[in-house]
Amino acid sequence: QSALTQPRSVSGSPGQSVTISCTGTSSDVGGYNYVSWYQQHPGKAPKLMIYDVSKRPSGVPDRFSGSKSGNTASLTISGLQAEDEADYYCCSYAGSYTFDVFGGGTKLTVL
């Protein structure tokens, strides 16, 4: 069982927007602004899409955005494209004992 809870799957049509949630506790997501999101295509290494809740690394399209409210972080992908179909994982810093915890992952299907 993962420390952070994500929906197992979400789907959307090209051009639409989808939001993936990541629910933790006040000891991780709610306690720090250190949530990151990763995209993983089959057989590939994960790719950083969002860090520090809402910051995008250079090269990541602005269709990807992150936010947080209380103990739940969210990744929103707008203007869905076929290449966005992948698994998405959230991760949060959880203090100086547990350090980093991941969510169980969400499979995004572009219909």
Partner 1 sequence: QVQLQESGPGLVKPSQTLSLTCTVSGGSISSGSYYWSWIRQPAGKGLEWIGRIYTSGSTNYNPSLKSRVTISVDTSKNQFSLKLSSVTAADTAVYYCASSPLRYAFDIWGQGTMVTVSS
What residues line the site for partner 1 (CB under 8 A)?
Answer: 2, 32, 34, 36, 38, 45-48, 51-52, 57, 89, 91, 93, 96-105
Q: How many residues does the chain have?
A: 111
Q: Is the dihedral of CA 63, 6, 12, 111 positive or negative?
A: positive
Shorter beta-carbon distance to partner 1: residue 16 or 26: 26
| Least distance to partner 1, CB of residue 91, Å | 7
CA-CA distances (angstroms) from residue 61 to 35, 65, 80?
18, 9, 11
Instruction: Indicate the residue among 17 and 73 with the shorter CB distance to partner 1.
Output: 73
Q: How far is the CB of 45 from partner 1 (least distance, A)?
A: 4
Q: What is the CA radius of gyration of the chain?
A: 13
- The one-letter amino acid code at 20 reads I
User: Nearer Cβ to partner 1, position 51 or 64?
Assistant: 51
Backbone angles phi, psi at 16, to 5 degrees: -80, 175
CB of 70 to partner 1, least distance (A): 19
